[in-house]
């Protein structure tokens, strides 16, 4: 019984994680510009990966391998936002245009909208 519950949890976590990754991919295609695409890929990837690894940890049980997977979750959670942020800054610095409802604009620090 416990085993069935455990495997159900594992399957649920893996499926939700995979679904989030798929959503990130769909968002990459559907969203209009660099910046909103980063919203889709950055966030869903971070949680999707963490959930999938969490499922694998439960499947593995508690040993050194699952500790390593815990490390991966930890580092992804810390470096994910930093990676998005630096990509974002690079896109702004090189002058990519931003899509808004009123059309494409070029944002620079200082002239706030």
The binding site for other proteins (CB under 8 A) comprises 20, 23, 26-27, 30-33, 35-36, 38-40, 42-44, 46-47, 64, 67-68, 71, 78, 80-82, 84-85, 88-89, 92, 98-101, 107, 109, 112-113
| Bridge partners, residue 103, by sequence | 100
The residue among 42 and 55 lying less far from other proteins, judged by its C-beta, is: 42
CB of 41 within 8 A of CB of 91? no
Between 43 and 59, name the residue whose CB sits nearer to other proteins: 43
- Determine whether 20 is exposed, middle or buried from the number of CB atoms within 10 Å of its CB (0-12, 13-18, 19+): buried
């Amino acid at each position: 019984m416990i085993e069935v519950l455990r495997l159900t949890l594992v399957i649920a976590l893996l499926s939700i994680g995979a679904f989030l990754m798929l959503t990130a991919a769909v968002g990459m295609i559907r969203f209009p510009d660099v910046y909103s695409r980063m919203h889709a890929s950055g966030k869903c990837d971070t949680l999707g990966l963490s959930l999938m690894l969490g499922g694998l940890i439960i499947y593995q049980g508690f040993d050194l391998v699952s500790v390593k997977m815990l490390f991966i979750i930890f580092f992804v959670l810390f470096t994910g936002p930093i990676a998005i942020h630096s990509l974002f800054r690079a896109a702004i610095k090189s002058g990519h245009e931003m899509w808004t409802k009123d059309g494409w604009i070029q944002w620079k620090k200082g002239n706030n909208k």
